[in-house]
Amino acid sequence: MHQYASIQGNGAVRRIALTNELNAPLDTVWRAITNVDQIQHWWPDWRPGGIIDQSEGGIVRLGDGFWIDGIVKVWRPPHIFEFTWHETIEGDPEWLETYTNSLLRIDLVQLAGSKTLLNLIQFAPETSVVGGTAGWHYFAGERLASFLREGEVIDDPERFSQLKQFYETS
């Protein structure tokens, strides 16, 4: 059962929340969100050479053209993966410093019947919260579920735009 993402709060920083019940066991979902060999199938704009140093203080580098670099803050396999988003790391291009970094946390809970509950929370700048909410709905909601169910994702270039329009009017 997929649920819509929500935007909460007021002011310069907002909370994006997504809850998604996935039809896969906990360990399978954990690998899908923390193993770069699997992330590349459902993550947007995958960059070859992306990495997740699987320990607190480790580097996270995801994306292609839209860099998602950060530092692992909490690493509790197979339940909690938390990292900063748009953290400037040595060797990053200077333009990356113009982005406001935020915090992303993913909590996984094993449910009955080989299902897993994914709870995603991101604290994001107000200026990017609509696009971020649509993105999490599409990528961590629909594309991740499709990858876990079918082992692949069929890209729908219009879907993100549809969801962004939905969240702009909600």
- pLDDT tier at 63 (50, 70, 90 boundaries)? low
pTM, two decimal places? 0.87
Measured distance CA(68)–CA(47) in Å, rounded: 10
Element (H, E) at 103: strand 102-111
For 110-134, the pLDDT digits (tens) are: 999 999 999 999 988 888 889 889 9
**Structural domains of the chain, with CATH:** 6-169 (3.30.530.20)
**Predicted confidence (pLDDT) per residue in 46-58, tens digit:** 667 788 999 999 9
Q: How far apart are CA 152 and CA 133, in angstroms?
A: 23
Angstrom distance (rounded) from CA 133 to CA 122? 9
Q: Does residue 95 carry a pLDDT above 80?
A: no
Residues 6+ away with beta carbon under 8 Å from 68: 60, 61, 62, 85, 86
Tell me what the mean pLDDT of segment 62-85 comes to. 84
- State the DSSP H helix or E strand holding residue 129, giving kind and residue range, or none if neither: helix 129-136
pLDDT in tens, 10-38: 988 889 999 999 999 999 999 999 998 89
pLDDT at 65 over 60: no
Q: Kindly state the average pLDDT of the residues 62-91.
A: 79
Counted residue by residue, the chain has a size of 170
Dmax over CA atoms of the chain, in Å, equals 48
Instruction: With beta carbons less than 8 A apart as the criterion, state whether 143 and 134 touch.
Output: no
Mean pLDDT of the region 79-84: 95
Mean pLDDT of the chain: 86
Structure tokens at 91: 């060797």
Residue 12: CB atoms within 10 Å: 9
Tell me, what's the pLDDT at 85?
78
Provide the β-strand partners of residue 62.
68
Q: Is the pLDDT of residue 148 over 90?
A: yes
Mean of pLDDT values over 89-95 = 56
Confidence of residue 70 (pLDDT cuts 50, 70, 90): confident
* 72, containing H or E segment: strand 68-76
Please identify which residue in the block is written with the tokens 């809970």: 109
